[in-house]
């Protein structure tokens, strides 16, 4: 094995880091598939909610605006209330599980939306349908929140362990509260949970517009379903992409934080920016400047942009063999 202060050693370290980047990109794609499963399920449920409403209330002349504006039945109100209560209980269960490691309590995010939907769904059948779809989206968002939080937590701890294996003889244990504080850290005035719920609200607003537009036309239920499905599919696809991008970017953030914490812990003063295989102009420039070598204080923030999958590696100062 090459000596730690030799060029051969550091070249091998750089090659190993590039292999890790490729493995990390693959892991991100695997997680994307999990997110897609959640959104595929959401799309199915939304289509079912729409189909059920059309089947129940459409007249011979189609699902008219007059029908859409009729008051909802007590039966519908009760069913909505039962589902809302189930979601509140689910939110508490997720927080209880995450609460051990001091994750942010997102139940207020759920309750705020439920209060809004509970008020608007009583207006008429159209608003009831929008509110029902809102419940589907809350349910889906909680599942995604839980999956992303676990994913980020695991990535932070795994990267600390990986760096310990490279830079030290053994890894020290990671306190759960430390991992949680990194996962839930605020960047750009919001943490990942707040961004996730904000993305969901944008998605919901666009679906509401689609539903209203279709209802106003008073089309036959079959025609409405046919015309609405491709739009719904596109909107779900867009929402999924935003979530995948958020997960990748946040994953890169917690891994970079684990790297920087490790470099400081083990006394390294220099790092090297290792660009991902398909690096953009921004990252390619960072990696090319001074051969990508920076002091800990001067290295650009990683991730440099959304979807950035570059990495940092501890490096040495050729003029000083202590690194």
Cβ(247)–Cβ(151) below 8 Å: yes
- Is the confidence at residue 277, as pLDDT, over 70? yes
pLDDT at residue 99, rounded to an integer: 54
Q: Which domain holds residue 248?
A: 28-267
Residue that is written with structure tokens 């920076």 in the block: 294
Query: Is 284 inside any structural domain?
Result: no
Query: How far is 184 from 191, CA to CA, in rounded Å?
Result: 6
Q: Label residue 266 by pLDDT band (50, 70, 90).
A: very high
Q: Rounded distance, CA 117 to CA 80, Å?
A: 9
Give the per-residue pLDDT at 244.
Answer: 96
What is the predicted pLDDT for the residue at 134? 96
Does the pLDDT of residue 129 top 60, yes or no? yes
* Distances 25 to 36, 168, 281, 309 between C-alpha atoms, Å: 17, 25, 19, 7
Per DSSP (E only), the strands in the chain are: 270-274, 293-295, 311-315
Q: Give the pLDDT band of residue 61 (cuts 50, 70, 90).
A: low
Residue 169 lies in a domain: yes
- Select from 210, 208, 216, 214 the least CA-distant residue to 231: 210
Q: For residue 254, count CB atoms less than 10 angstroms from its CB and return exposed for 0-12, middle for 13-18, buried for 19 or more.
A: buried
Evaluate whether residue 9 is within a structural domain.
no
In this prediction, residues 35-39 reach a mean pLDDT of 96
Residue 132 reports pLDDT greater than 90: yes
Q: What's residue 320's pLDDT?
A: 55
Provide the domain count of the chain. Answer: 1
> Can you tell me the mean pLDDT for 106-129?
88
Q: What mean pLDDT is predicted for residues 212-230?
A: 72
Taking the CA of residue 16 as centre, how many other CA atoms within 13 Å lie in the half-sphere pointing to its CB? 12
The reported pLDDT for the residue numbered 62 is 61
Kindly report the average pLDDT of the chain as a whole number. Answer: 87
Report the pLDDT averaged over residues 50-61: 71
CB 304 within 8 A of CB 283: yes
Identify the band that residue 51 occupies on the pLDDT scale cut at 50, 70 and 90. Answer: confident
Task: Answer yes or no: is 286 within a domain.
Answer: no
- What's the confidence (pLDDT) of residue 25? 97
pLDDT exceeds 90 at position 131: yes
- pTM for this one? 0.88
């Amino acid at each position: 094995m090459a000596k730690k202060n030799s060029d051969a050693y550091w070249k091998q370290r750089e090659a190993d880091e590039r292999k890790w980047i490729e493995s990390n990109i693959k892991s991100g794609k695997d997680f994307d598939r999990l997110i897609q499963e959640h959104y595929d399920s959401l799309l199915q449920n939304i289509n079912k909610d729409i189909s059920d409403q059309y089947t129940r209330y459409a007249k011979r002349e189609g699902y008219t605006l007059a029908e859409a504006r009729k008051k909802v039945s007590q039966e519908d109100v009760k069913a909505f209330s039962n589902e809302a209560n189930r979601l509140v209980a689910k939110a508490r269960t997720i927080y209880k599980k995450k609460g051990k490691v001091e994750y942010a309590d997102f139940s207020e995010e759920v309750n705020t939306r439920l209060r809004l939907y509970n008020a608007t769904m009583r207006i008429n059948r159209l608003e009831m349908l929008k509110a029902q779809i809102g419940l589907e989206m809350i349910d889906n968002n909680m599942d995604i929140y839980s999956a992303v939080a676990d994913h980020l937590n695991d990535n932070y701890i795994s990267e600390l362990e990986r760096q310990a294996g490279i830079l030290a003889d053994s890894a020290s244990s990671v306190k759960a509260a430390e991992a949680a504080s990194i996962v839930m850290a605020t960047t750009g005035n919001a943490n990942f949970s707040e961004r996730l719920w904000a993305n969901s609200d944008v998605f919901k607003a666009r679906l509401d517009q689609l539903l209203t537009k279709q209802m106003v036309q008073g089309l036959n239920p079959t025609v409405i379903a046919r015309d609405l499905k491709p739009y719904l599919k596109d909107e779900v696809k867009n929402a999924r992409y935003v979530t995948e991008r958020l997960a990748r970017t946040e994953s890169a953030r917690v891994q970079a934080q684990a790297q920087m914490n490790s470099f400081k812990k083990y006394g390294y003063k220099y790092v090297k920016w290792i660009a991902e295989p398909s690096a953009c102009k921004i990252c390619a420039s960072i990696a090319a400047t001074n051969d990508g070598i920076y002091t800990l204080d001067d290295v650009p923030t990683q991730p440099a942009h959304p979807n950035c999958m570059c990495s940092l590696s501890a490096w040495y100062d050729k003029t000083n063999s202590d690194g």
